[in-house]
Amino acid sequence: MREKKKAAAALGQRELSNSVLLKSVELEPILEILQEGVVKEFEKGEVLIEVKQSNRCLYMILAGRVSIQLEPHLSPIAILGPGDVVGELSLIDGQLTTAFVMAEASTRVLELEEQTMSSLLFTSPGVARNLLFIMARRLRHLTNQELRREHAHYAIRQYAQDTVIDTLTGLYNRRWLDSMLVRELNRSERDDRPLALLLISIDAFQEETEDHGDLASEHILNTIASVLQEITRPGEMLARYGKDEFLTLLPDTDASTGQEVGERLRQAIHQAEISGSDEDSSSSVTVSIGVAELVAGDTADTLLSAVDSALHEAKQGGGNRVFQLPRPS
């Protein structure tokens, strides 16, 4: 990806006025604001926006086209071209992004940061009106998609079986993890870089289910998943691994650093207040965490077996602890 500063005025009024964001908007009063933007160029296949990341920018597509995809290997749910904008929803509501935005061809965009967008909306009612129109159009598109899905229940169920998202927690699921682990293991071996796994299990989860029922246990799972999502850093890959287990994949991380990451996760969960079956009560939930690092000759299965053994030792030691099982290098 090549990035360069360029005054928006130098882009030409035709190129700017083609944008749906600037449709029927007088450009002269806002050119100085637009000049605060950055022109970025992406080659085919490059990612503009990652899924489940914070996005504080709106992108005006000047040339080329981009696809909106739930996963890079899935078919696009939308294709956008010159004049379209992308990133507006996560910019406005402050939530994590829900899809990938990828260049389908050589693509040039004008990146407008949050502060720049605020200035545009304050200065130009026309820009504010157009942004509302864009959001209404996207909402209508999603609504129409939902109506079509209502007439295809069987197809949806079939798709749900193949999806990479865990329906209860919203995290990636075991299917996604199996694919990603093989890819990262191969990359680590090829580049001679470390790779660590953390296997996280909720202590006394079965007892909680027996005492308070499935709804209470699902609430615990969702709360812990939310805590893990909030403190998972860029590059750390999180998935639901089993009924009461989560797995974090840590590229470029050795066992010692993995131990530190595991301790950070353990403490965050232990300190989180999780409401019990009685809405007025809350309790601390603890987790046990196993740590394992990739060693020469490992396959995905042997690495998973090692981290599972480490988790077993953590639980045998009383739970609420992080344990790394020594492995031959």
What does the alpha-carbon distance between residue 128 and residue 290 come to, in Å, rounded to a whole number? 51
Can you identify the CATH homologous superfamily of domain 174-324? Reverse transcriptase/Diguanylate cyclase domain (3.30.70.270)
What does the alpha-carbon distance between residue 40 and residue 4 come to, in Å, rounded to a whole number? 6
260 has pLDDT over 60: yes
Residue 24: burial class (beta carbons within 10 Å; 0-12, 13-18, 19+)? exposed
The arithmetic mean of pLDDT across residues 222-239, rounded, is 89
Q: Give the pLDDT band of residue 329 (cuts 50, 70, 90).
A: low
pLDDT at 4: 47
- Among 12-21, 126-135, 236-245, 279-288, name the one with the lowest average pLDDT: 279-288
pLDDT at 153: 52
7 has pLDDT over 50: no
312 has pLDDT over 80: yes
Closest of 215, 240, 216, 203 to residue 314, by C-alpha: 203
10 has pLDDT over 80: no
pLDDT at 239: 93
198 has pLDDT over 80: yes
270 has pLDDT over 60: yes
Residue at token pair 């990035």: 3
- Residues of each domain in the chain carrying CATH 3.30.70.270: 174-324
pLDDT at 146: 53
pTM beyond 0.95: no
pLDDT at 112: 93
- Residues of each domain in the chain carrying CATH 2.60.120.10: 2-148
- Fold for the domain defined by 2-148: Jelly Rolls (2.60.120)
Helix axes 205-212, 214-231, angle to 10 degrees: 140
Mean pLDDT (the chain) is: 84
Higher pLDDT, 323 or 95: 323
